[in-house]
């Protein structure tokens, strides 16, 4: 077995492979294959790499965004050289799978294990293992809220961060056609391809996991890949109903969870005044809501915000039908509602909207300002802030709960709401009245 090693700091690996009987023809930096594949004018190192690949049976490659691409795979295919990928995280695994490589090894795998894989021949991940690893719960989650900036983008971003815990892959999509802000809030370049490019590729039938990985912007090493929004509101015709629906369908196969930040408006005035099949300003919002498995409805926890939410909630229900809705009361603070702020919000939503389960996120201006100043998420800047912990509880209770047998379709109520109902039942039984 003859191999070429393209791994940074590979002294221990090369020595171990020699001890296991693998003939290492040459070693290069991890970025060398990508540079050789992309450079039309080959230098001495690139020519040496090509000669080594022509004589080798396999290339042991450290996988990363700068080291692996379809051109690298094509380069090795022309040389008849097999690629054995070494990955350090979930992003590396997804990239290796998107490029059609065999089941990867951990970057810190023992040399004898790498030699064992080299000598055993190509291997793949069984389909049964992929099915078993599929996440439970909603795959596409749309975050919506009425007009008035109730905090949709903050909730969407922090929810994506919490869903990415435990090594999950999460796509964060900005589908707001009125005021896209995820890229600005997180310090990402909004001149990149982003979600608009994904929609264009979806219409052409060329959107797959590999293309999504190429156009997405990774949010550090959090496991969150961001599809940024349009950088000018005038570009809203690019996000048509059919394009958005097809793009989100591709995201289902690409990411474990897809969190979509949408605009507030659900109006369809264009359909009323015209019977032409033209573009619709709110088509992206409506398409994302209808494609979602779960809608997170965000209400500002103050009198004005709750009133706006109740007026828009009926229209939301008419748009999405029976899709499950989880209501989040954001920026909860006693000053705006007086005594028992939670109870007042809960009773108002229950009485006027028939909404029983409500999750609360407290106002945390210090953490929010620190995140905005550093262009990071609140979970990164203040991982133990009250806001982060509240979103974490919400993600565990409403988004990815562990359902009991026969209750997979039910939403688990917040502990306080359930406890309140038990207390009401106890009071009723002591008074001799039937419990509700």
Average pLDDT per 10 consecutive residues for the chain, totaling 436 residues: 89 89 90 78 76 89 86 80 89 79 87 87 47 62 96 97 90 95 91 89 91 92 93 88 94 95 84 56 93 96 96 94 95 87 94 93 95 94 93 89 43 42 45 43
The Cα–Cα gap between 45 and 351 comes to: 73
Both structure tokens of 292? 């979602």
CB 369 within 8 A of CB 378: no
Q: What is the pTM of this model?
A: 0.65
The pLDDT score that the predictor gives to residue 146 is 96
The pLDDT score that the predictor gives to residue 270 is 55
CB 291 within 8 A of CB 140: yes
Domains and CATH numbers, the chain: 2-125 (3.40.50.2300), 140-403 (3.40.50.300)
Strand ranges inside 120-205, DSSP E: 140-144, 170-174
The Cα–Cα gap between 333 and 360 comes to: 10
What is the separation, in whole angstroms, between the first and last Cα of the chain? 74
Helix H or strand E segment including 326 = strand 324-332
Helix H or strand E segment including 324 = strand 324-332
The pLDDT score that the predictor gives to residue 46 is 80
The pLDDT score that the predictor gives to residue 334 is 85
Q: What are phi and psi of 25, to 5 degrees?
A: -70, -35
Tokens 């190509």 map to which residue?
A: 122
């Amino acid at each position: 077995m003859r191999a070429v090693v393209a791994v940074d700091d590979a002294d221990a690996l090369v020595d171990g492979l020699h001890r296991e009987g693998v003939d290492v023809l040459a070693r290069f930096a991890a970025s060398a294959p990508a540079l050789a594949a992309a450079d039309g004018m080959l230098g001495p190192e690139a020519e040496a790499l090509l000669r080594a690949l022509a004589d080798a049976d396999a290339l042991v490659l450290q996988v990363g965004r700068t080291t692996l691409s379809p051109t690298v795979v094509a380069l090795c295919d022309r040389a008849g050289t097999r690629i054995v990928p070494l990955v350090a995280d979930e992003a590396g695994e997804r990239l290796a799978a998107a490029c059609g490589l065999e089941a990867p090894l951990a970057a810190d795998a023992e040399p004898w294990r790498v030699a064992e894989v080299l000598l055993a021949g190509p291997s793949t991940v069984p389909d049964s293992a992929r099915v078993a690893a599929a996440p439970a719960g909603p795959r596409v989650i749309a975050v919506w809220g009425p007009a008035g900036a109730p905090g949709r983008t903050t909730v969407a971003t922090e929810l994506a961060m919490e869903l990415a815990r435990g090594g999950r892959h999460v796509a964060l999509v900005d589908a707001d056609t009125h005021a896209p802000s995820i890229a600005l809030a997180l310090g990402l370049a909004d001149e990149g391809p982003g979600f608009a490019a994904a929609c264009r590729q979806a219409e052409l039938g060329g959107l797959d996991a590999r293309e999504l990985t190429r156009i997405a912007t990774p949010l550090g090493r959090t496991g969150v890949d961001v599809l940024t929004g349009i950088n000018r509101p005038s570009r809203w015709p690019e996000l048509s109903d059919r394009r958005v629906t097809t793009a989100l369908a591709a995201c289902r196969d690409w990411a474990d969870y897809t969190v979509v930040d949408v605009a507030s408006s659900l109006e369809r005035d264009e359909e009323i005044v015209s019977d032409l099949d033209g573009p619709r300003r709110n088509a992206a919002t409506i398409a994302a809501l209808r494609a979602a498995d779960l809608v997170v409805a965000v209400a500002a926890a103050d009198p004005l915000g709750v009133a706006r939410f109740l007026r828009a909630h009926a229209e939301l229900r008419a748009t999405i039908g029976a899709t499950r809705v989880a209501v989040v009361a954001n920026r909860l603070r006693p000053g705006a509602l007086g005594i028992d702020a939670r109870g007042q919000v809960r009773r108002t939503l229950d009485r006027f909207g028939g909404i029983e389960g409500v999750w609360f996120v407290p106002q945390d201006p210090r953490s929010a300002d620190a995140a905005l100043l550093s262009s990071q998420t609140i979970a990164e800047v203040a991982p133990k802030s009250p806001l982060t912990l509240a979103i974490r509880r919400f993600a565990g209770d409403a988004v990815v709960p562990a359902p009991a047998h026969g209750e997979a379709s039910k939403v688990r109520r917040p502990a306080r709401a359930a406890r309140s109902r038990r207390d009401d039942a106890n009071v009723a039984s002591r008074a001799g009245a039937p419990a509700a």
